[in-house]
Every structure is written in C-alpha cells, then in structure tokens.
Structure 1
C-alpha cells in the first residue's frame, strides 16, 4: 500500500487570494500590523511560519507574538470563513478531483493531505469541493511549523488508520512548489510536482522531482504514473 499526500493551495484548489486576505486582516486586528504581507512569498510555507516571519520582520518580539497566537488564529479562521462564503470563490484545479477519487477507490492506496494550512483552514478551503472526506489522514501547519517534519506525522496517522507501517519509500508527496519537492526529498519520499500553482513548470523541473505534470487533466495517465511511482 502506498500513501499519497496532497498539498492544498495550488495543487488541489485555488481560493484566489482568500488566505492572504484573511491573514492580513487577522494580523492587523490582533497585532496592529501585518508586516510586509504584500510582498511576502506565501508559497509552500506553513501558516505558523508565515505568522512568525511577518511579525518578526515587523519588529515584534517573540513573547508578544506568542501571546497573540490563539486570538490570531481565531480571527484568521473567522475571516477565512467569511471570505470563502458559499465556496464559489474556491476553484478545484484541472483533473485533480478525479485523480484523488481514483486513488481513494484503490485497495493499494491511502490518500491524505500534507499542507502548510492549519487543519481548520484546510477544511474551510476544501469544504465546498466534496474532496475533504476522501482524505483519511493529514498533517498540517498546525502540527508543526517546519514542513519537513510533517511527513513523519502523516505516516504515523496513516499507520493508525491502516494498521500498517508506511516507510517513506512508500510515500508520494504531491505539490506545486519547490518546498513540496524539498519536503519529499528531505524524508526520501517520491516527489511529484504539478504546475497548477504559481511556479512555472521549468522552475519546478529545476528541482528534479521524480514526476512532473503541467496539470492532471490526463487522469488515467496521472493515476498510472502515480501508482507506479516507486523509484
């Protein structure tokens, strides 16, 4: 059995700036500043890393940041829920829903999430897509600030769900950023890059993933490549 771990933003869906907008409003409401949010690169970062980077860059000390985190995340989720609304803003990216459904239907596959979103944020972004119930396990930014530590968390949760071990060589990590490829490389998982986010295909190819896709519109081809992805 192979564990397939999907990123959310740029891989499964685009929420068309909802996350950044919610972050900015929640940071302003909680700390009185959002730092250099207009120029900060969110891509592939965990939510906690984004918070700490922005606020440290704005000159806030660690104690002040830590004291406000619970209020910040509550405000962020409230803003995200308001901005996403009925979900019409969230767009499922080409072919990915059928790829996830095809993998979830297989006896030799377990499908999960590996995302920098806090868990509640990921749930909000996916709620209108119908995909959330297909992901039986997940590792989230709310589990650890360091994306490289998330695969081990996902594997342990998969072990509990499936009743078997998932060594990293039986794990495939699918994402749209160089940091997704780095995450897979750091633990020895299979790295799959897809250019449906903000990084062009040639930039992702330079990271030397095991597989690279422009998108997942060729569903049978993508599923065949992913399920045969042991190196």
Structure 2
C-alpha cells in the first residue's frame, strides 16, 4: 500500500528526460526559415521551456511575417518540422536518455501511488517522435502538450483533467509535481500551485534554476531513491 496520497508526476521532455544535441531546435529553425524566406540567429537558451508553437510564432514574427499570414505560416512550419524530425529521429544515435530516467520511470510503474504524465512545450506528435525513438513514449499515458496551449502556464489544468479521466483519480495540484530543467517549468508549477523539481540536466545552469525558487533542485535524476523520497513528500 502507498503511504502517501496518489502523486501525479508530470515530466518535461528536452533536457529532463532526453538530450538530442539540439537537432530538433535546428530543424525547427530551418522550418521557420524555409516558410519565411529569412535567416537569423537562434540561441536555444532564448526559448528553453517555451512551447513549440510559441517559439515558432516568435521566430516568424522576428522574420517579419505579417499578422495576416502568421497562422498559415505557422501551420506550414509545424508540418515541415514534424516531417523532418520524424525522418531524423528514425536513427536516434544522437539521442541521449539522461541519467536515472529509465530506472525512475520503471520504478514509478511498480511503486504504489505514482502516476506519470508529460507536461511539455513539445507538440504532441513531436514528443511522441522524440520519446518513441528511445523507447520512452509508452511510459506516459497522459500529458499536456504545446499544441494544447501556447502559454505553458495553461498546460497543468489540461494535464490534471486528462490524468483524472485516465487514472480515475481526483488529483489535486498539491498532489502533483512538475519535473523540468528550465525556469519556465518552475514558474509554470508555481502559477498553478504545483510543486516543482528542477533538474540542471539541460542547458540552464543550476544557479539560474535556483534563482527561480523551485521546491527542490537536483543536478539530474540519477539518484532514483532520493527522487522517490522527494516525490512522496
């Protein structure tokens, strides 16, 4: 029997579960450049923790796409991006599953009282392609994605609703954790009265994450027993 109330554990993807050497970000930039006809610099840190659609929208605006064409160009860029990552991730030799992730996900399946899900800025199909390439997608029966809302802070209510429907458990925000590697993960959790476990396994240094005031900060998820103790708390 679980000695704690049921816990909904919502994971970010890039920098939290996997690293893919910036491949997806470069393909997203290429898609935006292709549909806009403009080239510009891109620093992945500028958009860490943002949703895919918001990133593409801002890049298209930066490229000077007029508002009247923005939605059409956004859809075109999204289609190209998904097509290209599907092709690129078929041979996922460049994708690294981060330390502790597989063991933690296995333990969450076998330990009573834990219910995993995703909360990610990735478009759902993008998350499926990335995680599916390394055998992680099936660990997550529910989630909220970047095509559910462009504002990340609007995703937790979506994830909670889907988790309640799937697991038939009335999860509350206080029963929930968000695990992520970016300041926006911490802000999103705080805005929704959800606890945050920040991991410095992505592109954002630990001191920058600490400045956001997460409930817990770890270098990564490799100490699975410690992570489980935290999530039970």
TM-score of Structure 1 vs Structure 2, range by shorter chain: over 0.9
Matching residue of 2:149 = 144
SS in 1 for 2:47: coil
Shift of the alpha carbon at 1:104?
2.4
Matching residue of 1:187 = 192
User: How many Å separate the matches in 1 of 2:180 and 2:149?
Assistant: 18
Matching residue of 1:99 = 104
Runs of 4+ in 1 over 4 A off after TM superposition: none
Matching residue of 1:178 = 183
Count of residues in correspondence between the two structures: 228
Shift of the alpha carbon at 1:202?
1.6
Deviation sequence 1:56-104 (CA, Å, 0-9, x none): 1222122211112322211101111222232111100111221122112
Which shifted more, 164-173 or 30-39?
A: 30-39
Residues 39 and 81 of structure 1: is their aligned pair in 2 closer, same or farther, counting only changes over 3 Å? closer
User: How many Å separate the matches in 2 of 1:54 and 1:113?
Assistant: 25
Shift of the alpha carbon at 1:151?
0.3
User: How many Å separate the matches in 2 of 1:188 and 1:25?
Assistant: 37
Matching residue of 2:128 = 123
Q: Report the TM-score when normalising by structure 1.
A: 0.94
Shift of the alpha carbon at 1:28?
2.2
Conservation of the 8 A alpha-carbon contact between 1:118 and 1:142: yes
In the alignment, structure 1 residue 205 sits paired with structure 2 residue 200: no
Gaps of 5+ in 1: none
Shift of the alpha carbon at 1:34?
4.9
Conservation of the 8 A alpha-carbon contact between 1:173 and 1:180: yes
Matching residue of 2:3 = none
C-alpha RMSD of matched pairs (Å): 1.5
Shift of the alpha carbon at 1:188?
0.3
Deviation sequence 1:10-29 (CA, Å, 0-9, x none): 00001111111111221122
Conservation of the 8 A alpha-carbon contact between 1:34 and 1:54: no
Which shifted more, 54-63 or 117-126?
A: 54-63
Gaps of 5+ in 2: 1-5
**What is the 5 A alignment of 1:20-35?**
20-35=25-40
Deviation sequence 1:132-188 (CA, Å, 0-9, x none): 111121100011000000000000000110112211111100000111000000000
Shift of the alpha carbon at 1:40?
6.8
In the alignment, structure 1 residue 110 sits paired with structure 2 residue 112: no
Conservation of the 8 A alpha-carbon contact between 2:197 and 2:214: yes
